[in-house]
Chains A and B, each alone.
Chain A
Amino acid sequence: MSILAVMDVTKTFGGLVAVNGVSFNLEEGTITGLIGPNGAGKTTVFNLITGNYRPGNGDILFNGKSVVGLPTHRIAGLGIARTFQTIRLFQNLSILENVLAGCHGRMRSGPVGAMLRTRAVMQEERDGLARALAELDFVGLHQHVEQPARNLSHGNQRLLEVARALAVGPRLLILDEPAGGMNEDETARLMGLISEIRKKGIAILLIEHDMRVVMKICEMIVVLDNGKKIAEGSPEEIKKNPMVIEAYLGTEEDQTDAPSY
Chain B
Amino acid sequence: MNRRRITFAVVFVVLAVIPFFLNAYWVDVLNSVGLYAILGLSLNLIVGHAGLFNLGHAAFFAVGAYTAAILNTSFGIPILWLLPLSGLAAGLFAVLIARPVIHLRGDYLCIVTIGLGEIVRIALINDVFGITGGANGIFGIARPVLFGFTIRSPQAFYYLIWSFAALTVFLFHRLEHSRFGRALNYLREDETAAEGSGIDTGSYKLVIFGIGAFWAGMAGDIYAAKMTIIAPESFSFWESVLIFTLVILGGAGSIPGVILGAFLIVGLPEIFRDFANARMLVFGAAMMAMMIFRPEGILPAKPRAYRLADVRNLVAKEGTK
Contacts and interface: CB of A to CB of B under 8 A. Distances in A.
A117 interface: yes
Given A114-B174, A114-B180, A133 B315 contact: yes
Interface in A114-139: 114-115, 117, 121, 124-131, 133-134
A71 B200 contact: yes
Interface in A78-94: 81-82, 84, 88-94
A239 interface: no
Given A114-B181, A131-B321, A71 B199 contact: no
A77 B183 CA distance: 15
A92 B314 CA distance: 28
B197 A96 contact: no
Interface centre among A52, A82, A89, A100 (most CB of B within 10 A): A100
B308 A88 contact: no
Nearest to A138: B320
Contacts of B185: 90, 93, 97
A105 B180 contact: no
B190 interface: yes
A60 interface: no
Chain B binding surface, main DSSP class = helix
A77 B306 contact: no
Contacts of A134: 315, 320
Nearest to B175: A114
Contact of A131 (B181, B195, B308, B320): B320
Interface in A205-252: none
B168 to A, nearest CB: 11
A52 B192 contact: yes
Contact-size category for A: 35 or more
A32 interface: no
B245 interface: no
A contact patch SS = helix
A97 B318 CA distance: 22
B246 to A, nearest CB: 22
A145 interface: yes
Given A84-B193, A134-B315, A115 B183 contact: no
B207 interface: yes
Contacts of A114: 174-175, 177-181
Contacts of A146: 303, 305-306, 308
Contact of A101 (B194, B310, B314, B315): B194
Contacts of A127: 321
Contact of A104 (B189, B192, B199, B321): B199
Contacts of B318: 130
Interface string A161-193: 000110110000000000000000000000000
A92 B253 CA distance: 13
B143 interface: no
Given A88-B192, A91-B189, A105 B197 contact: yes
Nearest to A134: B320
Nearest to A164: B197
Nearest to A117: B174
Interface string B294-321: 0000000001111010111011001011
Contacts of A102: 197-198
Given A71-B200, A104-B198, A117-B174, A111 B192 contact: no
> Among the interface residues B196, B201, B303, B311, which one has the most CB atoms of the partner chain A within 10 A?
B196
A93 B189 CA distance: 8
Contact of A90 (B180, B186, B211): B186
Contact of A76 (B181, B198, B312): B198
B279 interface: no
Interface in B86-138: none
A133 B310 CA distance: 12
A168 B171 CA distance: 28
A107 interface: yes
Nearest to B201: A73
Given A114-B179, A146-B306, 14 more contacts: A84-B192, A88-B196, A89-B190, A90-B194, A93-B185, A100-B179, A104-B183, A104-B186, A113-B178, A117-B174, A129-B306, A129-B311, A130-B311, A134-B315
17 contacts: A52-B196, A72-B196, A82-B196, A93-B186, A93-B189, A93-B303, A105-B198, A109-B179, A114-B175, A114-B178, A114-B180, A115-B171, A121-B178, A124-B179, A126-B310, A146-B305, A164-B197
Interface of B: 171, 174-175, 177-183, 185-186, 189-190, 192-202, 207, 211, 303-306, 308, 310-312, 314-315, 318, 320-321
Interface of A: 50, 52, 71-73, 76-77, 81-82, 84, 88-94, 96-97, 100-102, 104-105, 107, 109-111, 113-115, 117, 121, 124-131, 133-134, 145-146, 148, 164-165, 167-168
